[in-house]
Structure 1
Amino acid sequence: MLYRVEGIVIRSFDYGEGNKIITLYTQTHGKIGVMARGAKKLKSRHAAITQLFTYGEFVFYKTGQLGSLNDGEILEAHYQLREDLHLAAYASYLVEMVDKMVSDNEASEFLFEQLKSALKALQESKDPQIILRLFEMKMLSFSGVAPVLDACVNCGREGPPPFSLSPGLGGLLCAACRSRDPKSIQAGEGTVKLLKLLQQLDLRRLGKIGVKEETKAQLKQFLRAYMDAHAGVHLRSLHFLDQMDKYDI
């Protein structure tokens, strides 16, 4: 069967002497694996469109598990994301989340648009930390394990502050219930409000957001631990992100 789909290259690896196998995240068919014959060769007409992070229209035949690329048109090359070390690390984390947390053929037009918008936002030099936190929230919601942020996850009380965040228990803890999780993270009211905003905000509408470094650190600490506890995936791209932070690369 011949397919013509819009997709984003979320994984690409060499296969044999001159071929590549790419994984596309598509708007209509979810994740699809496609063989691009001869794509490793510099003069190949498939060389550019099979690059990681490329957004394009792909035409391929598929009769079994793996499609065979016939043609394609680049809609957005995202070459800046590959040429800049920092941007490449951030973008790799975004696409690896989709690769590891979305099942084959599990389509979501909304998630496709969120990934496309996240890559575009990185390219437009918007705050990468906010983009990553936003996309993590979208992936958690997509996976059905979004944190509880509108009331205490233990007793249901809606306030007042101070609050703490429990990755293990799944969300917000009021002051009275904080002892339920000694490892909970003390969070300022601004951090909790921003988390709620990130849960609701569409990446297509992301503008310039000024966030204190302390708040960014709390967001990262909570969502990193929450992903570890509830997403059930190991992401290799996190190692390089941590190295960048550690050594200020």
Structure 2
Amino acid sequence: MAIFQTRALVLKTQDYKESDRLIWLYTEKLGKVSAIAKGAKKNRSKYFSNTLTFTYGDYILYRGKGMYTLNEGTIIDSFQGILSDFDTISYASYLCELIDISMAEEESNRELFKELVTAFYLMKNNACDLETLARVFEMNVLRATGYGLNLHKCSICKEPISSADYISIQYLGGVCIKCPKLNGMRVSPAAYNIIKYLNNLALEKSYRVTIPSNLKEEIEKLLGAIIAQSYIRKPKSLETLNFIKRSEKSE
């Protein structure tokens, strides 16, 4: 039996049997893991509060022949204040879902773990625009998983470029005026330059950026297409929020 102590954030949960709870953790040391918390559904359980979605804490896990089992958990921040705002809940769920679909089991990435926790503190403190935060986080995840964008050279011929009006989804980068525009999307030069800036921006500095709404939509569409192609499934956490926003615009 192996015992591990690590900081982690609860990505999602699922009820299991009569009183247990399955939890998916993104951990600092082990990467993404799933564990069973025995009796966690009971209100008086010592695992009830530290296995709620979005909870960040110190966890002790042990592993026998099968999956991990939660042995102990100490809350650092429950982030339950996020639940008071639907927009923030939606984006918090989206960041967790993005980690879930992009990271393999037990694939450790301490820097990405730090980025996820930082994003949650930024959301908790209403410190930045949620859409901008999500875009920077998306690009960090893409880069961490081998799908980072090359925006300083043509992704086809490798000639240096300062800007472009087309991004190849196949080759993950800008395309110069000489190369064929296939398997990608057209973007405005303004959107291209913002993407290039965000791609090198530290997550904790995302509050400094103000992006016009029309360019936000353009960038979201592009990164969404890259994410949908790169991972096993397309994230769905923002669908309801985006539907509401579209309905409000059409009224």
Match of 2:50, SS? Answer: coil
Q: Is 1:80–2:81 an aligned residue pair?
A: yes
Seen in structure 2, the aligned counterparts of structure 1 residues 168 and 244 have a Cα distance that, compared at 3 Å, is farther
Contact 1:61/1:68 (<8 A) preserved:
yes
Q: Is 1:148–2:142 an aligned residue pair?
A: no
Residue 222 of structure 1 aligns with which residue? 222
Q: Is 1:170–2:182 an aligned residue pair?
A: no
Contact 1:145/1:231 (<8 A) preserved:
no
CA distance in structure 1 between the partners assigned to 2:123 and 2:156 by the alignment: 37
Q: How does 1:71-150 map to 2 (within 5 A)?
A: 71-125=72-126, 126-150=128-152
Q: Displacement of 1:164 after TM fit? A: 2.2
CA distance in structure 2 between the partners assigned to 1:160 and 1:5 by the alignment: 43
CA-to-partner distance for each residue in 1:191-235, whole Å, 9 max, x for gaps?
A: 223212222222234333211112212211211111122334232
One-letter identity of the residue aligned with 1:57 = D
Contact 1:33/1:65 (<8 A) preserved:
no
Q: Displacement of 1:94 after TM fit? A: 0.6
Residue 18 of structure 1 aligns with which residue? 19
CA distance in structure 2 between the partners assigned to 1:11 and 1:242 by the alignment: 21
CA-to-partner distance for each residue in 1:155-191, whole Å, 9 max, x for gaps?
A: 33334655222334422122343x5238622322x32
CA-to-partner distance for each residue in 1:66-102, whole Å, 9 max, x for gaps?
A: 2222221111111122332211111111111111111
Match of 2:187, SS? Answer: strand
Seen in structure 2, the aligned counterparts of structure 1 residues 47 and 185 have a Cα distance that, compared at 3 Å, is same
CA distance in structure 2 between the partners assigned to 1:56 and 1:5 by the alignment: 8
CA distance in structure 2 between the partners assigned to 1:233 and 1:122 by the alignment: 25
Aligned residue pairs total 247
Residue 40 of structure 1 aligns with which residue? 41
CA distance in structure 1 between the partners assigned to 2:193 and 2:132 by the alignment: 14
Q: Normalization by structure 2: what TM-score?
A: 0.89
CA distance in structure 2 between the partners assigned to 1:109 and 1:154 by the alignment: 32
* The 10-residue stretch of structure 1 (58-67 or 104-113) with the greater mean CA deviation from structure 2: 58-67
Q: Displacement of 1:238 after TM fit? A: 4.0
Q: Displacement of 1:11 after TM fit? A: 1.5
* The 10-residue stretch of structure 1 (18-27 or 144-153) with the greater mean CA deviation from structure 2: 144-153
CA-to-partner distance for each residue in 1:1-24, whole Å, 9 max, x for gaps?
A: 222210000121111111101011
Contact 1:169/1:181 (<8 A) preserved:
no
Seen in structure 2, the aligned counterparts of structure 1 residues 198 and 89 have a Cα distance that, compared at 3 Å, is same
One-letter identity of the residue aligned with 1:167 = I
Match of 2:71, SS? Answer: strand
Identity, % of aligned positions: 26
- 5+ residue gaps, structure 1, are none
Seen in structure 2, the aligned counterparts of structure 1 residues 2 and 210 have a Cα distance that, compared at 3 Å, is same
CA distance in structure 2 between the partners assigned to 1:238 and 1:54 by the alignment: 20
Q: Normalization by structure 1: what TM-score?
A: 0.90
